[in-house]
Amino acid sequence: MKKVVIVEDNKTLNDAFVNIINASANFKITGAYLNAENAIENIKNDAPDFVLMDIQLPGIDGVEATKQIKKIIPKTSIIIITVYENSETVFNALCAGATGYLTKNTTTGKLIASLEEAKNGGAPMSIHIAKMVVSSFKKTIHADLSERELEVLTLLSKGKSYKSIAEILFISLNTIKFHIKNIYDKLQVKSREEAISNANNQNLI
């Protein structure tokens, strides 16, 4: 039986979630709170496997609460409850460590199905939000490569040798080797082929 904590300031909705989850076969409520402060204070004792977290809360909001709870119990999966599924706030919550999210008008079946999905290692979320997360990841990788490293990587992808790249960019062969080592480290690859494949997958070149 997996343990669930609810953090939702709407008492009626909070009670509804408690009743739905306690009526399910695989989940039970160990704590239900109307604000993040009380949830954070009791989170160790509640020891939840999952937290259903409202974003807009009085005091500490759901994004900050997600960060704090993940620090206390890193293995806890936090699923955001929101009215606006495509909001930047949902994206920020996912970046803060949330596993996925549900809309407040979700059906009983969808609520339990989403918990089951999270239990099995999934991340319940819309395609739109998933794309935002993937896009952000790509930007992070891209930003990590310097402009010069991107130039070197692009020339590598065109089949240029180290020597010809050095001549094209008017820098020494040793400098090219230095850039290539950095590229491999940042992309976590060990060969030209892997670097090019990785870069193509990330839309870097």
Q: Are 67 and 48 in contact (CB under 8 A)?
A: no
Is 136 part of any domain? no
| In a shared domain, residues 21 and 67 | yes
Distances 94 to 17, 64, 69, 117, 174 between C-alpha atoms, Å: 21, 11, 13, 16, 42
Same domain assignment for residues 23 and 93: yes
Q: Same domain for 47 and 79?
A: yes
- The answer on 99 and 14 residing in a single domain is yes
Q: Closest by alpha carbon to 87, among 108, 64, 103, 66? A: 103
3-class secondary structure, 79? strand
Amino acid letter for position 174: N
3-class DSSP state for residue 5? strand
The total number of structural domains in the chain stands at 2
94 pLDDT band, cuts 50/70/90, is confident
Handedness of CA 31, 37, 43, 48 (dihedral sign): positive
- On the question of pLDDT at 72 being above 80, the answer is yes
pLDDT higher than 80, residue 141: no
CATH number at residue 185: 1.10.10.10
Residues of the domain holding 169: 145-201
Q: What phi and psi values does residue 11 have, to the nearest 5 degrees?
A: -60, -40
Residue 135 lies in a domain: no
Instruction: Give the pLDDT confidence score for residue 11 in this predicted structure.
Output: 96
pLDDT for residue 187: 86
On whether both 178 and 86 belong to a single domain, the answer is: no
Q: What average pLDDT is seen over the chain?
A: 88
Same-domain check for residues 159 and 117? no
At 113-132, the pLDDT tens digits run: 999 999 998 888 766 666 76
Domain annotation covers residue 131: no
**pLDDT value of residue 163:** 94
Residues 121 and 185 in one domain: no
Statement to judge: residues 101 and 188 lie in one domain: no
Whether 140 is in a domain gets the answer no
In this prediction, residue 189 has a pLDDT band, given cuts at 50, 70 and 90, of confident
